[in-house]
Amino acid sequence: MTDRLKIILDVDTGADDALAILLAARSPEVELLGCTSVAGNVTVDQTTLNTLAVLEIAGRKEVPVARGATHPLVRRLSTATFFHGPKGLGSAEVPLPTGQPLAQPAPAFLVEMANKYQSELILVATGPLTNVALALLIDPDFGRKLKKLVIMGGAVRAPGNITPAAEANFYNDPEAAQAVLQSGAKITLVGLDVTDRTILYWSEIAHLDEKPAELDPASRLALDILRFYTLTHGENGGAHLHDPLALGVAIWPDLVQTERMQVEVETAGKLTRGLSLGFNRKARDKFVDMGDYDDAVAVEFDYVANADVCLQVDAPRFIKVFRERLGL
């Protein structure tokens, strides 16, 4: 095995975050250096507990977990228990974890690990970007020290999923998302443009429900989560593998086709809070060329590409490897 990928997962462990943790735990390409929990799908107490529990079920109790932000930078927390279930893992009942989170808060842990693993560390963020923004407040160069920052968030050419304009993670903490996108990190944006096309249907795995005893604990947890996720909220019994795909893109970048863009996140809009506006240089230059007669667009601004936005995905290939790794 060539050098494994040094990865930290920043998670708001709900259903699909749990599936991403299980995928990381079961992928030999990944050296999982830690998980940082953040408030999002459920409270940070619950996301921390869920993260510890999922790691233990996966037999990875040694992976450290650092507890993060209790709420977005400036907004009120809006959880999604309606979608992820009261405790965030659908209807799955998991034993209380025996482990505890680190005493060190998540933002400080992230900064310490970036300094320790300079340019080797890949951060995969699958929740609101509050912890990452707080790490930037501690060390403004945090983003630039990372090998790569893979973000599950945003919707550049696709509709939002929490409002017509915004994807849930960016909606929950738009100020953090905007700060992180302007941080100079090497960002791959895994938004709804591709995760909405990466759907696992219950009909593909329902047969496993007939002999649950034949599944190992991690596969059984994944099946329990997917049963809830597909049958309760899925479209036609399908679950969008948002967070697992973000990890997949970190491991296998050729799963997706990307376009280099400048991405800005709306933080002032009433209807457009959390909207991720992506544009390429051509779009920007078109505005400037028209500047002669219209003050509105005569303002010169630098085009600063800041993200590789995922626009196409080989969904069947990812779903195949996802099922293989999770024993589904």
Gap between the Cα atoms of 292 and 72, Å rounded: 41
Active site residue 294: no
Nearest approach, Cβ of residue 269 and Ca ion (Å): 23
Catalytic annotation, pick one of 10, 12, 193, 243: 12
User: Which of Ca ion, ligand RIB, none lies near 161, with the C-beta cut-off 5 to 8 A by kind?
Assistant: ligand RIB
**Annotated catalytic, 240?**
no
Backbone angles phi, psi at 134, to 5 degrees: -70, -35
Q: Is 74 exposed, middle or buried (0-12, 13-18, 19+ CB in 10 A)?
A: exposed
Selection from Ca ion, ligand RIB, none that 6 binds (CB < 5 to 8 A by kind) is none
Q: Which CB sits closer to ligand RIB, 124 or 261? A: 124
Three-class DSSP category at 256: strand
Active-site choice (71, 240, 242, 243): 242
Closest approach, Cβ 253 to ligand RIB, in A, equals 19
Dihedral pair phi/psi, residue 97, rounded to 5°: -70, 150
User: Which of residues 195 and 215 has its CB atom nearest to ligand RIB in the complex?
Assistant: 195
Phi-psi region of 13 (alpha: psi -120 to 50; beta: other; left: phi over 0): beta
Q: Which two tokens stand for residue 206?
A: 């329902």
Binding site for Ca ion (CB under 5 A): 12, 17, 126-127, 243
Residues 6+ apart with CB under 8 A from 143: 132, 136, 149, 180, 183, 184, 185
Cα angle value 194/313/84 (rounded, 5°): 40
Looking at the Cβ atoms of 72 and 145, the one nearer to Ca ion is 72
Chain centre distance of CA 119: 20
Closest CB 152 distance from ligand RIB, rounded Å: 5
- Residue 54 or 215: the one with the smaller Cβ distance to ligand RIB is 54
Could you tell me the smallest distance in angstroms from the CB atom of residue 20 to ligand RIB? 8
Q: Which residue is nearest to ligand RIB (CB)?
A: 168
Q: Which is nearer to Ca ion, 215 or 221 (CB)?
A: 221
168 binds, among Ca ion, ligand RIB, none (CB under 5 to 8 A by kind): ligand RIB
Binding site for ligand RIB (CB under 6 A): 12, 14, 16-17, 40-41, 126-127, 152, 161, 167-169, 242-243
Quote the least distance from Cβ 294 to Ca ion, whole Å.
41
Catalytic residues: 12, 242
